[in-house]
Structure 1
Amino acid sequence: MPPASPKSSGYFPGSDDKHPVLITEAQPSLEDQHRSRVRRYTIIMAFRIPCLVLAAIAYSSFGSALLSILIIAVSIPLPWIAVLIANDRPPRRKDEPSRWDEPRPALESRPHKAIDG
């Protein structure tokens, strides 16, 4: 039986010897970010087509306009939600520092010498 691969604590899941070491704090390329945003938008908007088909099936099968309107009402905010999610920044990594950890005083309160003249 092969030895169990050690749990990775790095960027890539799985064994560390299968993946290169990440030595930079650089963000993913703009092309990769755009591709993932387009993918998220497309997936969310793809739920709208089945909603419209289900509304038509519900109306033709059950004759219930109320059920059809409810299904369509659920699909109305999907474009707005898709745009908000697609335009969101990439998720924050666990090792990325938070810039709001502790409040800093606006003015220094240490004593200073004054020159009387």
Structure 2
Amino acid sequence: MKRQAYRPILITDASRSQDDQLTSRQRRYVAMMGVRVACVIVGAILVGTRAPLLWLWLPLVALGMVLIPWLAVLLANDRPPKEQHRLASRYRAQPAADVPPRSLTTEEAPHKVIDAEP
């Protein structure tokens, strides 16, 4: 059996640490909630000034106030998928084509006959 060439594991192949992932998710959450606060403020200003096309702007702002927290929570709890072990895919044993299987066929297998009558 031919051995595969050794490939070193590079540090650039490593995934981000748990702390880095948590920090980036927290920043994304705070940014999205900041957009929500902006939607609340813009909605209050629009209602207070009786802006033209209020019937168009107010539902858009309300939609932002409702959807953004939901999306922020989903994205804050989302983690990148776990990778398969790097070494498992690189050093998986390849079955040889010319090696016969190790199990016995039904003709070769010794079998025991149990008879109900003595």
Q: TM-score, normalised by structure 1?
A: 0.53
Q: Does 1:62 find its partner at 2:50?
A: yes
- Within the candidate set 23, 28, 34, 2:10 is matched to 23
Where does residue 49 of structure 1 map in the other structure?
37
Q: CA RMSD in A?
A: 3.2
State the AA in 2 paired with 1:84: L
Deviations 1:58-109 (A, max 9, x none): 212236467424412321121111111122113789xx8xx9xxxxxxxxxx
Larger RCO of the pair (alpha carbons < 8 Å, separation 6+)? 2
Equivalent residue, structure 1, for 2:76: 86
Give the structure with the larger helix fraction. Answer: 2
Q: CA deviation at 1:36?
A: 0.7
Q: Which runs of 4+ in 1 moved over 6 A?
A: none
> 1:71-110 maps to which residues of 2 (within 5 A)?
71-90=61-80
- Identity across the alignment (%): 34
5+ unaligned residues in a row in structure 2: which ranges? 1-8, 90-100, 113-118
What is the letter of the counterpart of residue 22 of structure 2?
H
The structural deviation recorded for 1:55 is 0.8
How many residues are matched? Answer: 82
Q: Secondary structure at the match of 2:110?
A: coil
Structure 1 unpaired stretches of 5+ = 1-21, 100-109
One-letter amino acid of the structure 1 residue matched with residue 30 of structure 2: T
1:34 aligns with 22
Q: Say if 1:55 and 1:69, in contact at 8 Å, map to a contact too.
A: no
**Rg: which structure is higher?**
2
TM-score (normalizing by structure 2): 0.53
